[in-house]
Amino acid sequence: MSRGISPQGIPIAVGLMLMSVVACASAQTQGASSATESATSEEVGSPQAQAATPSSGRQEDDRPGIAVWPFSNGGSFGSDPWDYASLEVGLQQMLITELAQNSELRLINRSRIREIIEELELGQTQYVAPGTTAQVGRLVGAKYMVVGSFVDANGTMRLDARIDNVETSEILTETAAKVQDDRDELLALVVELGVKIVESIDLPPLPSQVVEERKSLELTAETARTYFMALRRDDAGDLDQARQLYRRVVSEAPQYTPARMRLQQLGGEIP
């Protein structure tokens, strides 16, 4: 004899099945809701998550790309000369760092610029033709190339910059920015240079509060010189010496985070 469900048990069985279906549906709804909240938090939350969004493939980064060419020595002189070769890459990195404070811009990594310049065997000269900067700019995905120069006249530093349009190989402005002050105000000079560059090509400006905060960071001329030397030793592959120099910068200017971040990347001990 079949042992199926009796007529009296049918309502109970149906009820149990309905409860199971409802429970599964509820669990799926909660899971979907949780996933949506997680995605929203990742995409709209922190600046780090926003910066990571383009590389994850979810959407294309359409911010204007800016690359900075190594600075050139425009004729420095004085009784206390710096290592001007270090200053060329040091000012380049400092300007990249300051422009990168603006989340509306996409900055090209300095190491990528160096790789392309070396691959194309482009020597560092005082004047770089717009066609050359455009060639490099296209290879690194930049829309604008900033070409800077400096003159250190007995401890008074002057910084100049022009901006090239990578897409057209034209100079947008020959004297986009010109700032001058004492060596000890070098960081503030670079911050102001970044502000003038952005203004000259009508890009979204960095909030004035951030500009003032960056200018107020303490970075003496000697500490800046040590940082520049660290960058040059880093580029040359002398990582032991680079770590020592970065560590000195962190000790002297703990608020200047680029040196700290690079020291951490190299596995150096933070003082």
From first to last of the 271 residues of the chain, give the pLDDT tens digit.
Answer: 444 444 444 444 434 343 443 343 444 433 433 333 332 222 222 233 333 334 445 578 889 999 999 999 999 998 888 899 999 999 999 999 999 999 999 999 999 999 999 998 887 666 889 999 999 999 999 999 999 999 999 989 999 999 999 999 999 887 667 888 899 999 999 999 999 999 998 899 999 999 999 999 999 999 999 999 999 999 999 999 999 999 999 999 999 999 999 999 999 999 8
- Asked if 110 and 96 touch (Cβ cutoff 8 Å), the reply is yes
The amino acid at 189: L
- Asked if 152 and 183 touch (Cβ cutoff 8 Å), the reply is yes
pLDDT of residue 255: 93
pLDDT of residue 61: 87
How far does CA 144 lie from the centroid of its chain?
15
DSSP per-residue codes, 90-135: HHHHHHHHHHTT-TTSEEPPHHHHHHHHHHTT----S---HHHHHH
152: closest CA among 59, 72, 240?
Answer: 72
* Pairwise CA distance, residues 258 & 45, whole Å: 24
- The SS3 call for residue 200 is helix
Give the number of other Cβ atoms within 10 Å of residue 112's Cβ.
15
Residues of the chain with CATH 3.40.50.10610: 65-206
* Pairwise CA distance, residues 38 & 31, whole Å: 11
Query: Beta 144-153 vs 72-73: how paired, if at all?
Result: parallel
- Asked if 141 and 108 touch (Cβ cutoff 8 Å), the reply is yes
- Identify any residues that bridge with 159 across adjacent strands, giving them in sequence order: 150, 179
The amino acid at 243: R
**CATH architecture of structural domain 65-206:** 3-Layer(aba) Sandwich (3.40)
219: closest CA among 177, 194, 190, 180?
Answer: 190
What residue has token string 């200017």?
253
Instruction: Classify residue 17 by burial, with Cβ atoms within 10 Å: 0-12, 13-18, 19+.
Output: exposed
Give the number of other Cβ atoms within 10 Å of residue 101's Cβ.
16
- Asked if 227 and 220 touch (Cβ cutoff 8 Å), the reply is no
